[in-house]
Chain A
């Protein structure tokens, strides 16, 4: 089944404790992206990647890191989480050229930073 998976789905952590949210897709998509969703602010893009070893900042990259060492995986790293990073996070993927705009979203990761 074609899908985007994220782990963990729910996470409660404390300020300053490094964490990684994994994202994996099985559709051979070149393009992958991370978003956060907050009430009243909608979806905001954090980082995106056009292919292996090619990443770029979205609108809200501060406090986040990403890497794209393999085509199927695009982990989101919070080196020192803070309470303002409490949010619902989505990973998405698509082809880079034809069909690019049909992004497939993962199920979401609900992160709470205390």
Chain B
């Protein structure tokens, strides 16, 4: 059965810290991996990764995919209180149009 596992489940840091969130997956015929940020309600898209080793970057956030070891990491540097959210990882098996989400990592950044 395809599955996505995120770790840690929750994390509390102070402003300015750097955090690394993990997403590992067991999916047959992987097509893409996505990261979302969920603050109050609806998730918002952060990154999509399809190729191994290529880093996607947006400001203080970056993500990299390792297709051989079947995992991805999301890094947030110089964290701010506005980064407090649930971070979701999702994987699309190739040719399915389905998305399998992990349970998310709840990040809390203290001032």
Nearest neighbor of B1 in chain A, beta-carbon distance: A59
Kindly list chain A residues whose C-beta atoms are within 8 Å of the C-beta of B99: 33, 45, 103
Task: Determine if A105 and B43 form an interchain contact, defined as CB atoms under 8 angstroms apart.
Answer: yes
Known: A42-B104, A102-B48. A31 touches B97 (CB 8 A): yes
The residue from B42, B98, B100, B103 contacting A90, defined by CB atoms under 8 A apart: B42
Bound together, the chains give a CA A58 to CA B96 distance in angstroms of 10
Kindly list chain B residues whose C-beta atoms are within 8 Å of the C-beta of A40: 103
Query: DSSP majority for the A interface?
Result: strand
The residue from A44, A48, A108 contacting B101, defined by CB atoms under 8 A apart: A44
Chain A contact residue count (CB 8 A cutoff) = 23
The residue from B32, B34, B45, B102 contacting A42, defined by CB atoms under 8 A apart: B102
Known: A50-B97, A101-B92. A107 touches B45 (CB 8 A): no
The 4 closest A-B pairs by CB, nearest first: A42-B103, A105-B42, A43-B101, A101-B48
> Can you show 19 pairs from A to B with CB atoms below 8 A apart?
A42-B88, A43-B43, A43-B90, A43-B101, A45-B98, A48-B97, A48-B98, A50-B97, A56-B97, A58-B98, A59-B100, A101-B34, A101-B45, A105-B42, A105-B44, A106-B42, A107-B41, A108-B41, A108-B42
Given contacts A59-B100, A101-B45, 18 further A-B contacts (CB under 8 A): A31-B97, A33-B99, A42-B101, A43-B43, A43-B88, A43-B90, A45-B101, A56-B97, A90-B42, A101-B48, A101-B92, A102-B45, A102-B48, A103-B45, A104-B45, A105-B42, A105-B43, A105-B44
